[in-house]
Amino acid sequence: MLASMWCNGSVFGIQNSFGLMFLSLLREFGSEHDSDLRFRTSWVGSLSMGMIFFCSPIVSVFTDIFGCRITAVGGAAVGLVGLLASSFVKSLGVMYFTYGIVFACGCSFAYQPSLVILGHYFKKRLGLVNGIVTAGSSIFTITLPFLLSSLLDKVGLQNTMRILCIFMFVLMLAGFTYRPLLPTKPSSSQSGKLRMSKIFNRNIWKSVGYRIWAFGIPAALYGYFVPYVHLMKHVEERFGKDANKEILLMCIGITSCLGRFIFGSVADFVKGVNKVFLQVASFFVIGIMSMMIPVCQIFGGLIAVCLLMGLFDGCFICIMAPIAFELVGPNDVSQAIGFLLGLMSVPMVVGPPIAGFLRDKLGSYDMAFYLAGIPPIIGGILLCLIPWVEARHRRKDKEAQSKEQGADQKMIEHQKPQEDVKNKDGDSVL
């Protein structure tokens, strides 16, 4: 659990702190007042975050074939090489490759096994454990910027990246703890069919509940990340540049961390709680809070909105893996999570630029935030179908089992008179 927590913290702590390195990159390659350079440099961070999720379907295949330990350790090693190489780069074009692709792909290969391995060790408390593990990203996101600010001022960008390589080295060591406990699938060398099942697991798509979940969540995310990207600029336009806008991100980070502990515990220990409905509630609240952002005319109102948004963001994140385990089972969960994260990469990249386009056309972010609240609500409505579909599937299984038991009972009753006749004739029934 602690190894997985370190993985979540180091991967997303570094990714979420890119804003600080962004300013240093601008000074390194030109001027922070150059709008064209700002646009080109911002793609380094966007490409890096997008690649973590885009690579997930490939990572799931590697996890099924080579196991969690080899995949995680190898990914951390690649991430270490990419980050170390980025510290020597003097060109923005090369930085796209070393940081945006190599480092990000390494992080992706290290991150996904940290979620999959938890199902090998925890069952009753899987929700709470996922809450603790995913809280690592919130804790690192809150604390790491203070460290990075100090390092960037004292030792510069290149040496700061080299110091961050220590996080990736520890991540390699953490990967060695991922010893699988669940029984492994048959070797893929036995037949071509088994080999293909490792590369593309069709079992996950046989679950109607998983299919709804895998497309409902990306549908919700088209507006989900808009406040995280554009809220700071909206605050500057509404309340002035001197507004203490950083406190809003801190509110989101703190309550998101708190929400992961609270809702992870609720999912495990409160009887009758449906994890899917918890996720539905989180989407509804986040959608409504997005629509409330333009309505807030006082800064205190925005703080309240961000506190609620962070709390239910933690709810959404901490129960993703437990829902995947319930829908497809522990043996197929790797590709189930992988394909979901891969599908999530599209709305993560598309949603915020659309909001920026609306801001440029309409002159304010108001309409962008109103529209951003609609996809989470639609996604939540789609997810409401999952419990109904799963209950219907269980009823059909019970009916099939009862029919089989009835048929077996009839066979037993039919065979019993024949055995009685043989016994009367003195024949052995053996």
The DSSP secondary structure of 254-285, one letter per residue, reads: HHHHHHHHHHHHHHHHSTT--HHHHHHHHHHH
Residue 36: what pLDDT?
A: 75
Tokens of 105: 């792909």
Q: How would residue 428 be classed by pLDDT, with cut points 50, 70 and 90?
A: very low
Report the half-sphere exposure of 175 (CA within 13 A, side-chain side).
28
Query: Quick one: pLDDT at residue 91?
Result: 86
Q: What are phi and psi for residue 371, nearest 5 degrees?
A: -70, -30
* CA pair distance 169, 177, nearest whole angstrom: 14
Identify the pLDDT of residue 185: 54
Q: Can you tell me the distance from the alpha carbon of 128 to that of 270, in angstroms, rounded to the nearest whole number?
A: 12
The pLDDT score that the predictor gives to residue 419 is 56
Nearest to 287 by CA among 220, 341, 349: 220
Helix %, strand %, coil % for the chain, to 5?
Answer: 85, 0, 15
Q: Which residue has the higher pLDDT, 30 or 13?
A: 13
Distance CA(318)–CA(142), nearest Å, equals 18
Contact status, residue 218 vs residue 346, Cβ threshold 8 Å? yes
Model pLDDT, residue 426 = 46
**pLDDT tens digit sequence for 312-349:** 988 988 888 888 888 888 878 888 888 888 888 888 77
pLDDT at 413: 65
Q: Where are the alpha helices (DSSP H) in 155-225?
A: 156-175, 192-199, 203-206, 208-224
Q: How many CB atoms lie within 10 A of CB 430?
A: 3
DSSP category for residue 343: H
Cα–Cα distance list, 116 to 213, 227, 352 (Å): 18, 29, 29
Q: Which of 36-45, 143-152, 259-268 has the lowest mean pLDDT?
A: 36-45
| pLDDT band with cut points at 50, 70 and 90 for residue 186 | low
Task: Please determine, for residue 420, whether its predicted confidence score (pLDDT) is greater than 60.
Answer: no
Most confident of 57-71, 236-250, 385-399: 57-71
Mean pLDDT of 52-56: 87
State both tokens at 234: 């909206």
CATH of domain 200-402: 1.20.1250.20
Quote the tokens at residue 356: 């920026």
Rounded distance between C-alpha atoms, residue 423 and residue 379, angstroms: 66
Q: Average pLDDT for residues 78-83, to the nearest whole number?
A: 96
222 or 241, which is more confident: 222
Whether 253 has a pLDDT exceeding 50, the answer reads yes
Among 137-151, 170-184, 253-267, 400-414, the range scoring the smallest mean pLDDT is 400-414
Inform me whether the pLDDT recorded for 266 exceeds 90: no
Which of 10, 46, 43, 315 has the alpha carbon at shortest distance from 141? 10
Encoded tokens for 24 = 């240093």
Please, is 399 exposed, middle or buried when counting C-beta atoms within 10 Å of its C-beta (0-12, 13-18, 19+)?
Answer: exposed
Question: What pLDDT score was predicted for residue 325?
Answer: 86
Confidence band, pLDDT 50/70/90 cuts, at residue 182: confident
Q: Over 70: is that where the pLDDT of 32 sits?
A: no
CA distances from 399 to 267, 381, 392 (A): 29, 29, 11
Condensed to tens digits (0 to 9), the pLDDT of residues 197-232 reads 666 777 788 888 889 998 999 999 888 878 877 787
Q: What is the mean pLDDT of the chain?
A: 83
What mean pLDDT comes out for the span 236-255?
A: 82
What is the 3 state secondary structure string of 282-329? HHHHHHHHHHHCCCCCCHHHHHHHHHHHHHHHHHHHHCHHHHHHHHHC
Where exactly are the structural domains of the chain? Answer: 1-178, 200-402
Report d(CA 79, CA 14) in Å as an integer: 12
pLDDT at 188: 47
User: 54-58, 171-175, 353-357, 393-397: lowest mean pLDDT where?
Assistant: 393-397
pLDDT computed for residue 127 by the predictor: 80
- Residue 423 pLDDT exceeds 60: no
Q: What is the DSSP letter of 200?
A: S
Residue 157 has pLDDT above 50, yes or no: yes
Q: Is the pLDDT of residue 412 over 70?
A: no
DSSP secondary structure, 66-104, as one string? H-HHHHHHHHHHHHHHHHHHHTT---HHHHHHIIIIIIH
Q: Cα separations (Å) of 347 from 53, 158, 246, 372?
A: 11, 32, 25, 12
* Mean pLDDT confidence for 401-409: 68
pLDDT band at 195 (very low <50, low <70, confident <90, very high): low
Q: Compute the average pLDDT of residues 229-242.
A: 81
3 state DSSP class of 62: helix
User: Was domain 1-178 assigned CATH 1.10.1740.10?
Assistant: no
Report, as an integer, the average pLDDT of 176-187: 75
Among the residue ranges 196-205, 355-364, 375-384, the one predicted with the least confidence is 196-205
